[in-house]
Structure 1
Amino acid sequence: MLDLSPYKAIIFDLDGTLVNSMPAHLDAWQHASQVHHFPFDKAWLDSKGGMPSYNIVKLINERYHLALVPEQVSQTKAQHFATIRHHCELIPATSKLLMQHYNQKKIAIGTGSRRENALKLLEGKTIENCFDVLISANEVSQHKPHPATFLAAAKALRVCPSECVVFEDAELGFEAAHRAGMALIKVTHDGQIQSQ
């Protein structure tokens, strides 16, 4: 078991860290690419994990010199994701760790998803009510790799950034945690926790 005793608070990313939702997100992106006629680059889109969909659409426009309407594309993607969201299961290693520290440490979720989407993804799962704070794309104006999400979580938990440890699966989240001055523990794509 990881020794998290040096930290007062744990901040978990959601997609790909607590819930195995990245395959469903990529499926939804593929659907959106077919509807809105843009190239589907699975590896590139996977590398943008942690970023709100409308920001990813802006990057797609830059990358392919397109003029997609971010709100329309992200809505198409979100609607398709909603139809397959129920297939997204908890990641055993991180959800178990969250439950082990529930009521012992302050716990937050810091996600690039919109609040309503994050809450729907957590709905009916054992960890649904086991965190003190949820910071989503709605609560910050700058998103990962900017540290705002994690800094907002620390502020809401009333702890210093140096007293927090972040669990993350994506490069953008790794950078955000480092920029926030927080310890980082990486979660691999197969749901394993990398030792410190």
Structure 2
Amino acid sequence: MHNLNFRPKAFLFDLNGTMINDMEYHTLAWYSIMTEDLGTALDYASVKKEMYGKNHEVLERVFGKDRFSPAEIERLSADKEKRYQAGYLPHLALIDGLDNFLERAKAAQIPMAIGSAAIPFNIDFVVDGLNIRHYLSAIVSADDVHTSKPDPETFLKAAEALGITPADCLVFEDAPKGVESALHAGMRCMVLTTTHTTEEFENYPNILGYIADYNDAKLNTLF
């Protein structure tokens, strides 16, 4: 376990798998499109490995850059998000303990932001569906950056929007690419073990610790 004597001045949250436990529904939506609509022979595990970055990046990694026209990518992306939202809506909920953690951070006057590769359509679905927008001072989405994680742009823009030095920010992430993004941004991370095993993060020196949810007592050291 890494040193927990860190008092962050801001909290930056990835969204999917970090504030909500929904990555299965993103994967199922893509799996449906890739196997049923596009006729690939990919298994679920292979699709899951590609679940990071913007939608067009997912399609390009799987099918190559020249497979789809911009119009086809837009149509496939829209269809994927509709399937994701329809599948996840009955289960829409914050990860356990996050409601209290957000209240505690607000009371401590620690500014918070979302830094996500999700599109605004999905961020709004979550933020407004769970009524947590009032906790957030900034939201950086896929539409706000040129380069997705593991590039640091997402988290650097979130820190800039909050007016906080990157080194004073703590990122909450669930994916290795997100932790790598925070590392490149000069930020420390707390990892949610909702999507990946701890062994998948062993090469990242910026991790403070691992939590299954926001009821973990080690979060008490952050205030």
Would you say the 8 A contact 2:13–2:19 is kept in 1?
A: yes
SS in 1 for 2:12: strand
Unaligned runs of at least 5 residues, structure 1: none
Which is worse superposed, 99-108 or 134-143?
99-108
Number of the residue aligned with 2:47: 45
Q: How does 1:27-42 map to 2 (within 5 A)?
A: 27-33=28-34, 34-42=36-44
Aligned partners of 2:63 and 2:18: how far apart in 1?
28
Which deviates further from its counterpart, 185-194 or 8-17? 185-194
2:116 and 2:142 in contact (8 A); partners too? yes
Three-state SS of the structure 2 residue aligned to 1:79 is helix
Instruction: Give distance in 2, aligned partners of 1:61 and 1:90.
Output: 33
2:152 paired residue among 131, 138, 147: 147
Aligned residues of 1:49 and 1:172 also touching (Cα < 8 A): no
The 1:94–1:40 alpha-carbon spacing in structure 2 relative to 1, beyond 3 Å, is: farther
Say if 1:145 and 1:157 are closer, same or farther in 2 by CA, change over 3 A: same
For 1:126 and 1:92, locate their aligned partners in 2 and report how far apart those are by CA, in whole Å.
16
Looking at structure 2, the residues matched to 28 and 43 of structure 1 have their Cα atoms a distance apart, in angstroms, of: 13
- 1:20-64 per-residue CA deviation (whole Å, 9 max, x = no partner) reads 1111111111221111223434334333444112210110113xx
So what's the TM-score if we normalise by structure 1?
0.87
**Paired positions, count:** 193
Q: Deviations over 1:106-142 (max 9, x none)?
A: 1000110011211112223142321111100011111
* 1:192 correspondence with 2:212: yes
Aligned to 1:92, the other structure's residue is in SS state coil
Give the letter for the 1:112 counterpart: A
- Identity among equivalent pairs (%): 29
Q: 2:117 aligns with which of 98, 112, 115?
A: 112
Distance in 2 between the 1:48 and 1:12 partners?
Answer: 21
1:80-95 to structure 2, matched below 5 A, reads: 80-86=83-89, 87-95=91-99
The 4+ residue runs of structure 1 with deviation greater than 4 A are 193-196
Q: Which residue of 2 aligns with 1:70?
A: 73
Per the TM alignment, residue 67 of structure 1 is displaced from its structure 2 partner at its CA by 1.5
Q: Note the alpha carbon deviations across 1:86-119, whole angstroms, 9 max, x for none.
A: 1232111444322321242010001100112111
Gaps of 5+ in 2: 196-210
Q: Could you say what secondary structure the match of 2:186 adopts?
A: coil
AA in 2 matched with 1:89: A
